[in-house]
Amino acid sequence: MDNSDRCKIIVDAMGGDYAPQNAIVGAIDAERKNPGFDLFLVGKEKEIMKVLVDKNLSFDNSRIISAEEIIEMGDTPTEAIKKKLNSSIVVGARYVKEKKAHAFVSAGNTGAMMAASTLIMGRLPNVGRPTIGAEIPNVHGTCFLFDVGAGKDAKPNHLFEYAVMGTIYARELGGVSNPQVGILSMGEEESKGNEVTTAAYKLLKESKLNFVGNVEGRDILTGKVDVVVCDGFIGNILLKFGESVPKLLKHLLKKTAEKNFIDKIKIGLFKGTLKRALKDLDYQEHGGVPLLGINGISIIGHGSSTPKAIKNMVFRAYDMYKKNLNQKIEESLKEYANIIA
Footprint of a copy of itself on this chain (CB under 8 A)? 137-139, 149, 152-153, 184-186, 193-195, 216-222, 230-234, 236-245, 247-249, 251-253, 255-256, 260, 263, 266-267, 269-270, 273-274, 276-278, 280-281
Closest contact distance (angstroms) between CB of 204 and a copy of itself is: 18
Return the beta strands (E) in the chain as ranges. 7-12, 37-43, 64-66, 103-106, 131-138, 141-146, 180-184, 210-215, 227-229, 289-292, 297-300
Closest contact distance (angstroms) between CB of 15 and a copy of itself is: 19
- Give yes or no for a cis peptide into 290 (omega within 30° of 0): no
CB nearer to a copy of itself: pick between 46 and 259? 259
Q: List beta partners, residue 40.
A: 10
CB nearer to a copy of itself: pick between 126 and 197? 197
CB nearer to a copy of itself: pick between 46 and 218? 218
CB nearer to a copy of itself: pick between 255 and 334? 255
Closest contact distance (angstroms) between CB of 218 and a copy of itself is: 4
Closest contact distance (angstroms) between CB of 185 and a copy of itself is: 8
Which region holds residue 149: left if phi is over 0, alpha if psi is between -120 and 50, else beta?
left
Closest contact distance (angstroms) between CB of 71 and a copy of itself is: 16
Query: CB of 133 within 8 A of CB of 314?
Result: no
CB nearer to a copy of itself: pick between 57 and 257? 257
Alpha-carbon distances of 277 from 117, 130, 273, 274, 322, rounded to whole Å: 35, 33, 6, 5, 31
Distance between CA atoms of residues 8 and 175, nearest Å = 24
